[in-house]
Amino acid sequence: MKNCRLDSTVALHWIRCPDEYKQSVSNRVQKIQAQSDVVWHHVRTSNNPADVGSRSGEVTNHALRWNGPEWSSDKACWPPDIVTNPTQESLAEAKAKQDMVVVAVVVADKLDDLVEKFSQWRAIRVTCMDNPIHPEFSLQEDQEAGRTANRRRNEESRALLGKESAGTSYC
């Protein structure tokens, strides 16, 4: 197992805490996490050998740069590992998440009642009659109007089809 250190608590949080990040961060974090033989730890900036060149400019004779921090060779002397928590900086690269709320409202009307009560074919025929069912009619009036319209339609159908269908009802 390799032990690697970095001084960025934000980057350490990204590596340790899987989440959905913006594309550039996500790609880098995935590459780092793909290295299953590496364990990441935090190091203070003052103890980070990688920062020597950017801080002092001279790295030729710098002991930290070539040997690492004094404590690095003895695991018992390593500083305790930190627990990372989300910060504004780490959350700034989080992928925006949108919550969606869907509301469905069921509205039943007379057609729904007819389809439930009768076969679909019959409900269609009742709703297509010349004198449609008006909301001000009572249920009994609706049924009576439907029966009257059905009788009239059956009579018209028999007249159109001839005597062979005289005994056949279509509703």
Is residue 7 located within the same domain as residue 59?
A: yes
87 and 117 in a single domain? The answer is no
Query: Domain limits at 127?
Result: 110-165
Distance CA 128, CA 138 (A): 19
Please say if the pLDDT value at position 63 is more than 70.
Answer: yes
Helix/strand/coil for 117: helix
23 and 53 share one domain: yes
How buried is 5 (Cβ within 10 angstroms: 0-12 exposed, 13-18 middle, 19+ buried)? Answer: buried
Element (H, E) at 27: helix 23-33
Question: What is the total count of domains within the chain?
Answer: 2
pTM of the model: 0.50
The string of pLDDT tens digits covering residues 112-166 is: 776 677 666 555 655 555 445 555 555 566 667 667 777 777 776 666 655 444 4
Partners of residue 41 on adjacent β-strands? 5
E strands of 15-153, at which residues? 38-42
